[in-house]
Amino acid sequence: MYTRNYRRRFDAVFVLFIVFLLLCIARLLYVQFFRSAYLAEIARKQHSLFVELEPRRGTIYDANLKPQAINISVDSLFADPHEIPDKNKEELSRQLASILNVDYAYVRDRLSRKKSFIWLARKLTPEQSQAVRALKGKGLDFMKEGKRSYPNGYLASHIIGFAGLDNKGLAGIEMSCDHYLKGEAGWMFALRDARQKKLDLSEKMVSPKDGYDVILTMDEVIQYVAERELDKAVKQFHAKGGSIVVLNPHTGAILALANRPTFDLNEYNLVDKDAWRNRAVCDLFEPGSVFKIVTASGALEENKVKESDRFFCENGSYSFAGHVLHDHRSHGTLTFQEVIEQSSNIGTSKVAQLLGPDLLYRYIKLFGFGAKSGIDLPGEIPGMTREPRFWSKLSLATIPMGQEVGVTALQLVDAVSVIANGGQLMKPYIISEIRDKYGEPIKTFGPCLVHKVISLETSERVKKILQGVVDSGTGKLAKINGLTAAGKTGTAQKLEPNGTYSHDRFMASFIGFAPVEDPMVAIAVIIDEPHPYYFGGVVSAPVFKVVAADSIRYLMTKQPGQQPGVMHEAKRTD
């Protein structure tokens, strides 16, 4: 009896063992034939780490190959929360929050996550990196990343722009040329041990493709001079802001462009975003009397007037279309040349009546107003002009003196360059070349003729008139010792919110070029709401004088040979 029971128990155990063995074999066969790929992938992920390889962002250089935006290698902090003992996380979070200048709750939340890799801070300062290393915290480590750095800080901030934390361009050339500068990221699979530590071994790797370098037409020396003088004027006249643009009138190459207020490119996130705005290309304003160059050029080109023709300027008060026009001071009879030299609103309106609305509008468009120039900077606006069918009866008198139109500083300097270069509207540009990391050119840019505006003869006649503005007219403070200069002053009333013209807020401007015989620079200076003095001839003309003089003397010291490139027709697009 006992032997029989023992035998049954033995058989039962044996059968269970056989069934278990068969189940194991079935499971192994299932895993081998149906789950092998899935489990192999899990194993691969556990022992392989996908790492993105950051490309080198291209360098931005000025015309003399002086770097304006570069990359530096900095530490980024990450953590493995699994390796940090729970009892240490509170104190470590407080220490890191103080060093990184972030909330304690943010750090504590990051360290509480069930992950083996978590970013704590990207692109630390050297001081922060050193302070974190001093903690010797277990589970903390660093990864090297590239950070954008701007050696000159404030200089040319609105030209260069800036890149964000992920090295993506957010403003200026950094933004408009981001597709050239950013490069292409690479990747690799790095091996890890059983404790998830990265080994210096890789399974597969695709090398990153570095970004291209960008060479600007901007000259660091001229840029410095322009910013220095703009700063002085804004501070001296307690202005709200200002802009200055310097370009080569023969080619359209931008030599300098600056705005106030400005900001340090290395600390762009610490200032109000309004300071980021490139006022020279995106701020609209009524130009005032500098706009008279359009009427003067059109009237001479169409043979409506001669320099000696005389106009009665109504002793400073002129009724037109039910309104009264005024000059800034009383004038009797002036020649056409004196009308422009003395900036008579009344005389200019009478010249415009000879020209007529259709021809006046035609020359406004020919000079580039009401259309984007195509500058390779982001944010450009086309300005504002209206077709004659939308004009009021008063428009023929007010538009010639710079009212009822909206322009930018860039459009003004481009327009005065037409007079300087013999009558051609050139497309302004600020990028001269794109190069690879070996210095080989990838793409080049050069002078581009948009269209002919006036004849060479007319431009020479207008040149003499504008030289008279500086020699004996409203622009005497723009006169340069040892050099000839030509230009036009402007003082425009700003509009109040109710649509009326202000009596205490003005835009003071001066546009001009030098030397007159063979202009090397064309310059526009715009000062926003200066006081107590607000006339363009008092506020802006002296800025032109110093910038033009210093720029020309500097350019004359450079080696010759930089001749204007071959010009070609270009279509203008709005």
- Residues classed as catalytic: 289
Look at residues 56, 59, 68 and name the one whose alpha carbon lies nearest to residue 158: 68
Provide CB contacts within 8 A for 309, sequence distance 6+.
Answer: 335, 336
Phi-psi region at 160: left, alpha or beta (left = phi > 0; alpha = psi -120 to 50): alpha
Q: Helices (DSSP H) in 48-142: which residue ranges?
A: 86-100, 104-111, 126-135
Inter-residue contact 342 to 415 (CB < 8 Å):
no
What are the two backbone dihedrals, phi and then psi, of residue 147, each rounded to the nearest 5 degrees? Answer: -125, 140
Beta-bridge partners for 323? 320
> Residue 190 corresponds to which tokens in the numbers above?
């790095």
CA distances to 30, 155, 169, 265, 291 from 273, rounded to whole Å, are 62, 17, 15, 12, 31
The owner of tokens 């370098």 is: 213
Inter-residue contact 140 to 132 (CB < 8 Å):
yes
What are the two backbone dihedrals, phi and then psi, of residue 434, each rounded to the nearest 5 degrees? Answer: -115, 125
> Residue 539 corresponds to which tokens in the numbers above?
């506020």
Inter-residue contact 280 to 158 (CB < 8 Å):
yes
CB burial of 132-142 (b: ≥16 within 10 Å; e: otherwise) equals: beeeebebbbe
Inter-residue contact 540 to 260 (CB < 8 Å):
no
Q: Alpha-carbon distance 436 to 429, whole Å?
A: 20
Look at residues 430, 404, 198, 436 and name the one whose alpha carbon lies nearest to residue 321: 404
What are the two backbone dihedrals, phi and then psi, of residue 334, each rounded to the nearest 5 degrees? Answer: -125, 150
* Angle ∠(16,17,18) on CA atoms, nearest 5: 90
Look at residues 362, 407, 361 and name the one whose alpha carbon lies nearest to residue 381: 407
Q: How many residues does the chain have?
A: 574
